[in-house]
Amino acid sequence: MSHRYEKLLTPFVLPNGIVLKNRIVQPKCAPDQIQGPEEWPNEQFIHFHREAARKGNSLVVVCDAFRPEVRKMPAWHDFSHSYTFNLDDPGVHNYFCQLADDVHFYGSKVIVQAHPEFERGTSVGGGNPKRMQSAEGFMPMPPGKMATKEEIAEAIDKAVERVAMYKDWGFDGVGVDVMGLEHETDLRDDEYGGTVEKRCRFTLEFCERIKKRCGNKFIIHVMMNGEAPYGGMGNLKEGYFLEDTITFAKLAEGLVDLITIREKSMVDCHPTGYTFKPGEHKCIEYIAKMKEAGVKIPLAVSGGFQDPGELEKLLEEDKTDLVSVGRGQFTDDDYYLKIIEERGEDIRPCLHCNRCHGRRRAPWTSVCTVNPTFGMELKTKNMVRPVTRKKKVAVIGGGVAGMEAAIVAAQRGHEVVLYEKTDYLGGQLYFGDYFDFKWPFKEYRLWMIREMEKAGVEIRLNKEPEPEEIAEKGFDAVIAAVGSKASLPNIDGMYKEDGTPALRTCHDVIGKEETVPENVIMIGCSETGIETACYLAQHGHNVTCLTRQKILAKDASPLHSITIAWIREDETGLPYMAPYWEHFDNIKGITEVTTTMVGKNSIVYEDETGEKHSLSADEVIVCGGVKPCTENAIKYSACAPEFYMVGDAEKVGDIQQDVRSAFAAASQI
At 234 the pLDDT is 43
543 vs 621: CA distance, rounded Å: 10
Closest CA to 210 of 218, 199, 202: 218
Tens digits of residue pLDDT in 55-71:
999 999 998 876 667 77
Question: What is each CA distance from 103 to 26, 323, 567, in whole angstroms?
Answer: 12, 19, 38
Specify which residues 501 forms β-bridges with.
Answer: 495
Which residues have C-beta within 8 Å of that of residue 305, sequence separation ≥ 6? 281, 311, 323, 324, 325, 328
The H-assigned helical ranges of 293-422 are 308-316, 327-330, 335-340, 377-383, 400-411
DSSP string, 262-273: E-SSHHHHS--T
DSSP string, 551-618: STTTTS-SSSSTTS-EEEE-TTS-EEEE-GGGG-TTEEEE-S-EEEEE-SSEEEEE-TT--EEEEE-S
Look at residue 510 and tell me whether its pLDDT is greater than 50. Answer: yes
Closest CA to 480 of 309, 634, 305: 634
**How much is the mean pLDDT over the chain?**
90
Domain boundaries, the chain: 6-342, 384-485+628-666, 491-624
Instruction: For residues 566-594, give the mean pLDDT.
Output: 88
Least confident of 301-310, 490-499, 633-642: 490-499
- 278-297 as b/e: b if 16+ CB within 10 A: eeebbbbebbeebbeeebeb
Instruction: For residues 529-550, give the mean pLDDT.
Output: 94
Instruction: For residues 238-260, give the mean pLDDT.
Output: 94
Tens digits of residue pLDDT in 275-334:
999 888 989 999 999 999 999 999 999 989 999 999 999 999 999 999 999 999 999 999
Look at residue 424 and tell me whether its pLDDT is greater than 90. Answer: yes
Helix or strand (DSSP H, E) at 390: none
154 vs 149: CA distance, rounded Å: 9
Residue 36 burial (CB count, 10 A): 11
At 558 the pLDDT is 78
Alpha carbons within 13 angstroms on the beta-carbon side of residue 341 total 9
Indicate the CATH number for domain 6-342.
Answer: 3.20.20.70
Question: What is each CA distance from 227 to 378, 550, 559, 568, in whole angstroms?
Answer: 39, 35, 22, 17
The H-assigned helical ranges of 55-124 are 90-105
Instruction: For residues 165-193, give the mean pLDDT.
Output: 88
Residue 18: pLDDT band by 50, 70, 90 thresholds?
Answer: very high
Residue 421: pLDDT band by 50, 70, 90 thresholds?
Answer: very high
In this structure, whether the domain defined by 384-485+628-666 belongs to CATH 3.40.50.720 is answered with yes
Closest CA to 163 of 181, 180, 147, 177: 177
User: 491-624, superfamily in CATH?
Assistant: FAD/NAD(P)-binding domain (3.50.50.60)
Q: What letter represents residue 48's amino acid? A: F
Look at residue 129 and tell me whether its pLDDT is greater than 50. Answer: no
Look at residue 209 and tell me whether its pLDDT is greater than 60. Answer: yes
Asked if the domains 6-342 and 384-485+628-666 are classified in one and the same CATH topology, the answer is no
Choose between 459 and 564: higher pLDDT: 459
Least confident of 84-88, 490-494, 572-576: 572-576
Q: Are 371 and 331 in contact (CB under 8 A)?
A: yes
Alpha carbons within 13 angstroms on the beta-carbon side of residue 212 total 10
Q: Are 377 and 383 in contact (CB under 8 A)?
A: no
